[in-house]
A and B are shown apart, each in its own frame.
Chain A
């Protein structure tokens, strides 16, 4: 690395133009490397012939082969996808309605309502998990895949609502009024005028919620019944019992999928912000 000494003029008259390679730039490059190091390591390991040593002992695809033959992984993946799609689907509808409602009406207890809806972002996952488990036990509902969905909707709701609220705050409220004046009923005005405008916010909120639902280990562990274990639960139990090389292969595949979803979410948010600036 070429480390150029940063030149600080003694008289401090012209410090506007920083040199091309400041220490901040070099430090940032090191930090970027730190962020990607674990991902690179897992990716490299997934092609390593030897499962137990850090040394490179030849290229192989057998861990990916093992993975594709692994029924338990697929069951867990199926459960995870069922949970994520159901929870995000419900949260998309409820969260959008909630965001619109919160933007439109003033009522007593509104700040309390809003505060409660954002609580899942603040309360630690483990507390939400414990609360849900005890509550379900007290009212006597049997744990199943649907209890995970119910618990996931709570935090997905918050992310969808935030994304939709951000989008709503930049919208022209007169558009919907115009539709009403032109004879549309409130439901038509909502679906034909408001919803298309809100779509980028809804999509980016849903993508965030989807990734978080797929990633959640704690809440799912507490609220799943037998046979409804999700992918993070399966991964956790395998990691705990020792280092398994096919987990490396699984990591790479999952990271690519969720990385793409994450990139899309950021990109859509970025695009809709750009549009608004214009």
Chain B
């Protein structure tokens, strides 16, 4: 992806679309427009990614060491059972959150996009995604306040005579927090495709004798599949790299890849090479998810 060597600043032989520009500006303009951002991206995105790839090949490197690539030991370490467990857990969180937010998000997006009064739709959507604009750290922290042993939920439960739940510091809390964090993204993307849904097709299928469930699977789902795929991808990628929710809500049992990467760099276990290898694995996982979307996204638009 970023390994290509073609990532030089815009080439000077670029052709302006109009013939009215002066000859000197044909050369100068594209460089002036695309050059600064291009240089910034190469220096702070492309080169750094190449450097972490290089470092991921160095075993046991610590800050200040001399770079001297020598092999795949870090990657061998990633695939040891103890770390595979962490990768599996991260994938479990990401898939689970993706499914939960799809199941919760679809009815909401459908209601806003198809059933709510037309003039209210934009406002309702805005209202639903507005919490996204507030600090994600603080929203996750709010769930700590709600879920902890002496928190809001348990106060409510015990006051009506139910036993208190110990949800915090385990995986259910991570799901609650992550599902909450990424639901607005899912609704936002689903809304875009549900809003365009042709209602006449639903009526036609009803007229032809389909029951609502049949209409849903045969008419609504195929039409909104690109939206579903895009929403799922977005949630999957974000939850896979999420650090804050597992860290604040998950406790020691919920170690994920991103928490482990964090520890390799800023935590107690400093091993930059291993951390770089883990980062590369994360980038690869995300790239595979995107490749799958592109492959199956194309299929959904064909029929």
Residues of A within 8 A of B (CB): 8, 12-13, 15-16, 18, 22-25, 27-28, 31-32, 34-39, 41-42, 45, 52-55, 93-95, 97-98, 100-102, 104-109, 112-113, 115-117, 119-120, 122-128, 130-135, 137-138, 150-151, 153-154, 157, 161, 173, 177, 180-181, 186, 211, 214-215, 217-218, 221-222, 232, 235-236, 239-240, 243, 247-248, 250-251, 254-255, 258-259, 261-263, 265-266, 270
Contact = CB atoms under 8 A, between A and B. Distances in A.
Contacts of B115: 18, 22, 24-25
Contacts of A37: 146
B14 interface: yes
Most buried by A among B10, B63, B129: B10
Interface string B168-194: 000000000000100110000000000
A36 to B, nearest CB: 7
Interface in B7-63: 7-8, 10-11, 13-18, 20-21, 25, 29-30, 32-34, 36-38, 40-41, 44-49, 51-52, 55, 63
B45 A128 contact: yes
11 contacts: A24-B111, A98-B34, A104-B30, A123-B283, A124-B258, A124-B286, A127-B241, A131-B51, A232-B137, A235-B141, A270-B126
A136 to B, nearest CB: 8
A177 B34 CA distance: 20
Contacts of B290: 122
A174 B105 CA distance: 43
A154 B119 CA distance: 37
Given A117-B37, A239-B141, A154 B150 contact: no
| Size range of the chain B interface in the assembly | 35 or more
Contact of B266 (A97, A124, A221, A235): A221
Nearest to A44: B152
Interface string B208-238: 0111100000000000000000000000011
B100 to A, nearest CB: 12
Contacts, number: 289
Interface of B: 1-2, 4, 6-8, 10-11, 13-18, 20-21, 25, 29-30, 32-34, 36-38, 40-41, 44-49, 51-52, 55, 63, 67, 104, 107-108, 110-112, 115-116, 122, 126-139, 141-146, 148, 150-152, 154-155, 180, 183-184, 203, 206-207, 209-212, 237-238, 240-241, 243-244, 248, 258, 261-262, 265-266, 272, 275-276, 279, 282-283, 286, 290
B150 A105 contact: no
Contacts of B6: 108-109, 112
Most buried by A among B13, B40, B55: B40
A79 to B, nearest CB: 15
Contacts of B21: 180, 186
A131 B49 contact: yes
Contact of A262 (B40, B116, B133, B212): B133
B130 A119 contact: no
Contacts of B282: 124, 126-127
B40 A157 contact: yes
A94 B211 CA distance: 54
Most buried by A among B41, B128, B258: B41
Chain B contact residues: helix, strand, loop or mixed: helix
Most buried by B among A38, A97, A173, A261: A38
B103 to A, nearest CB: 11
Contacts of B116: 25
B266 A31 contact: no
Contact of B4 (A105, A112, A236, A248): A112
B279 to A, nearest CB: 5
Top 8 closest pairs, chain A to chain B, by CB? A124-B241, A262-B133, A101-B33, A38-B142, A131-B48, A135-B48, A98-B37, A54-B155
A7 to B, nearest CB: 12
Nearest to B114: A24
Contact of B108 (A31, A105, A106, A258): A31
A41 B241 contact: no
